[in-house]
């Protein structure tokens, strides 16, 4: 969330930056609310000071034996005015907060102009896309022919956009999770967490999912409890430190978790409905880093390298792009996407987004540290996928498929699996 004073001080510059991401900032409305808030605070201070003064006059006059009837009436009137001022100030503060919660983060000027993935700036390509001497199958055809995927029974259980993995397919998912967590914890220094999959409204607001994206969330509850299924482990991991002051010596914090993720994908009907690319429930290993504001960009680039390591371990061809300002997520000021090559689609598809949020989430969630003078100040947050299991499995199957319908698995996975190949009939094969 923004500091209203910062946006007002930026003025037309804030309007310009937000327009790059398609948001029209009503600066006059923001200024009016901030002015009403400031006036209310000043009026309240004056009323409380006057109320205290009259109370003292009542005590002094009473001790002297004087008539305090009129003074007491004044005191009662002032008390009512104080209460009225507090109620009005609370309403104005809520209106200001509600407005600020809907304003996206200011995009970094480094992000290119544009509003779609076609406007992204390619930064590099790693690995050569495979050139098969046969027509490559997509992961759905491969998985169902092998018998390691069953989308029909998943639909019977839950409806469309769910999946069932079986046999070598389930083992493959488990092995990829283990590899990713080992890479992040043993090589990159992340601390693994097991976190709740249901969180409250305050937690969802802290990372920016609420109030804007409520239609994309699965909501549940028992009795008077209002809970949401997490769309990503970013939500609980980041909010572990909500309303806390993290000592500078402990920064940066590096957190990771493997969780299921739940997304309604509202507005995306008709897109990527086949296979593992866009599901209502999927599994993901997430990375989160919390740091001082001046460390955010450095930490983001470090996290990009960590996500790249995962793709390289899985021997996957990919590219890295910088998203356009208008295509950057609500809470992010700059995002790098890692896109993996999918032979069946003859294109690169997003498999990891790594975002620098600056202090945007820190302000919303109340995550703070201390500056060089010891004063509490909002901390910065960075997060990224490392990696989502569905898309990773799709890429592994498609990029490593063989002419006979089998899949030769990446060397890094074989110790976790106990086999090197999945035969065309889904049988694990040791080599």
SS3 annotation, 197-246: CEEEHHHHHHCCCCCCCHHHCCEECCCCCCEEECCCCHHHHHHCCCCCEC
Query: What order do you get walking across the sheet with 347-356 strand by strand?
Result: 121-126, 318-322, 334-342, 347-356, 380-388, 281-291, 253-262, 191-193
Distance CA 417, CA 178 (A): 10
Strand bridging mode 318-322 / 407-408: unpaired
- Six token digits for residue 302: 């470090």
Q: Whole-model pTM?
A: 0.93
What is residue 165's three-state secondary structure? Answer: strand
Q: Which residues are annotated as a binding site?
A: 232-234, 263-265, 286, 350-353, 383, 385
Which residue has better confidence, 301 or 266?
301
Residues 6+ apart with CB under 8 A from 19: 25
What pLDDT band is residue 221 in, cutting at 50, 70 and 90? confident
Domain ranges of the chain: 4-102, 117-429
Q: Which residues pair with 289 in a beta bridge?
A: 254, 382
CATH number for the segment(s) 117-429: 3.30.930.10
Q: Which residues are annotated as a binding site for ATP?
A: 263-265, 350-353
Q: Is residue 111 packed enough to be buried (19+ CB in 10 Å), middle (13-18) or exposed (0-12)?
A: buried
pLDDT at 189 over 60: yes
Q: Average model confidence (pLDDT) for the chain?
A: 96
What residues are annotated to the active site?
263, 278, 350, 353, 391
pLDDT at 176 over 70: yes
What pLDDT band is residue 30 in, cutting at 50, 70 and 90? very high
What pLDDT band is residue 222 in, cutting at 50, 70 and 90? confident
Query: What local confidence, expressed as pLDDT, does residue 318 receive?
Result: 98
- CB contact at 8 A, 308 and 186: no
- Six token digits for residue 1: 């969330």
Residues 187-214 have a mean pLDDT of 97
Query: What local confidence, expressed as pLDDT, does residue 268 receive?
Result: 55
- CB contact at 8 A, 217 and 231: yes
Output the DSSP codes for 29-92: HHHHHHHHHHHHHHHHHHHHHHHHHHHHHHHHHHHTT---HHHHHHHHHHHHHHHHHHHHHHHH
Q: Which residues pair with 382 in a beta bridge?
A: 289, 356
- CB contact at 8 A, 100 and 52: no
Query: What local confidence, expressed as pLDDT, does residue 423 receive?
Result: 98
- CB contact at 8 A, 208 and 257: no
- Six token digits for residue 36: 């009403």
**Number of neighbours of residue 430 by Cβ within 10 angstroms:** 9
Residues 6+ apart with CB under 8 A from 149: 139, 140, 143, 163, 164, 165, 166, 169
What pLDDT band is residue 147 in, cutting at 50, 70 and 90? very high
What is residue 423's three-state secondary structure? Answer: coil
Residues 18-44 have a mean pLDDT of 97
Architecture of domain 4-102: Orthogonal Bundle (1.10)
pLDDT in tens, 228-281: 999 999 999 999 999 999 999 999 999 999 999 999 976 555 556 689 999 999
Query: What order do you get walking across the sheet with 198-200 strand by strand?
Result: 198-200, 227-229, 219-220
- CB contact at 8 A, 250 and 288: no
* Dihedral pair phi/psi, residue 382, rounded to 5°: -135, 140
Terminal-residue alpha carbon distance, the chain: 54
Kindly list the distances between the CA atom of residue 37 and the CA atoms of 4, 89, 124, in Å, as whole numbers in the listed order: 11, 6, 48
Query: What local confidence, expressed as pLDDT, does residue 319 receive?
Result: 98
Region of poorest pLDDT, from 47-56, 110-119, 216-225: 216-225
pLDDT at 51 over 90: yes
Residue entry with tokens 């690169």: 348
Q: Output b/e per residue, 151-190; b: 16+ Cβ within 10 A.
A: beebeeeeeebbbbbeebbebbbebbbbbbbebbeeebeb
Query: What local confidence, expressed as pLDDT, does residue 386 receive?
Result: 97
- CB contact at 8 A, 391 and 239: no
Q: Which residues are annotated as a binding site for L-serine?
A: 232-234, 263, 286, 383, 385
Query: What local confidence, expressed as pLDDT, does residue 274 receive?
Result: 84
What percent of the chain has pLDDT above 90?
Answer: 95
pLDDT at 291 over 90: yes
């Amino acid at each position: 969330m923004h500091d209203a004073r910062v946006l007002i001080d930026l003025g037309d510059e804030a309007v310009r930056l937000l327009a790059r991401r398609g948001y029209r900032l009503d600066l006059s409305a923001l200024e009016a609310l901030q002015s009403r808030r400031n006036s209310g605070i000043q009026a309240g201070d004056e009323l409380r000071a006057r109320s205290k003064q009259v109370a003292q006059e009542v005590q002094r006059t009473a001790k002297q034996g004087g008539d305090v009837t009129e003074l007491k009436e004044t005191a009662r009137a002032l008390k009512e005015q104080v209460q009225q001022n507090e109620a009005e100030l609370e309403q104005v503060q809520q209106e200001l907060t509600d407005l600020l919660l809907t304003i996206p983060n200011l995009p970094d000027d480094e992000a290119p102009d544009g509003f779609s993935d076609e406007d992204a700036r390619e930064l590099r390509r790693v690995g050569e896309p495979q050139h098969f001497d046969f027509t490559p199958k997509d992961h759905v055809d491969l998985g169902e022919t092998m018998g390691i995927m069953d989308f029909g029974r998943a639909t019977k259980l839950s409806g469309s956009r769910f999946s069932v993995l079986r046999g070598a397919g389930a083992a493959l998912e488990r092995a990829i999770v283990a590899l990713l967590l080992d890479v992040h914890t043993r090589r990159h220094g992340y601390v693994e967490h097991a976190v709740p999959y249901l969180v409250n409204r305050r937690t969802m607001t802290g990372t920016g999912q609420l109030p804007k994206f409520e239609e994309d969330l699965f909501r549940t509850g028992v009795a008077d409890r209002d809970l949401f299924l997490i769309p990503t482990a970013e939500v609980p991991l980041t909010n572990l430190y909500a309303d806390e002051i993290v000592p500078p010596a402990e920064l940066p914090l590096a957190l990771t978790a493997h969780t299921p993720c739940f997304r309604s994908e509202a507005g995306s009907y008709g897109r990527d409905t086949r296979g593992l690319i866009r599901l209502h429930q999927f599994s993901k290993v997430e990375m989160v880093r919390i740091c001082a504001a001046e460390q955010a960009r450095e930490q983001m680039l470090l996290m990009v390298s960590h996500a790249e390591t995962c793709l390289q371990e899985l021997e996957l061809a990919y590219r890295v792009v910088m998203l356009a300002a208008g295509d950057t997520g609500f809470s992010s000021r700059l995002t790098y996407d890692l896109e993996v090559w999918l032979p069946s689609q003859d294109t690169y598809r997003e498999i990891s987004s790594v975002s620098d949020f600056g202090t945007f989430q820190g302000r919303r969630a109340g995550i703070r540290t201390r500056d060089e003078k010891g004063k509490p100040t909002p901390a910065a947050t960075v997060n990224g996928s490392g990696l989502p299991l569905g898309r990773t499995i799709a890429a592994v199957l498609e990029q490593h498929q063989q002419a006979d319908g089998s899949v030769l698995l990446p060397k890094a996975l074989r110790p976790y699996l106990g086999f090197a190949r999945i035969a065309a009939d889904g049988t694990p094969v040791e080599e």
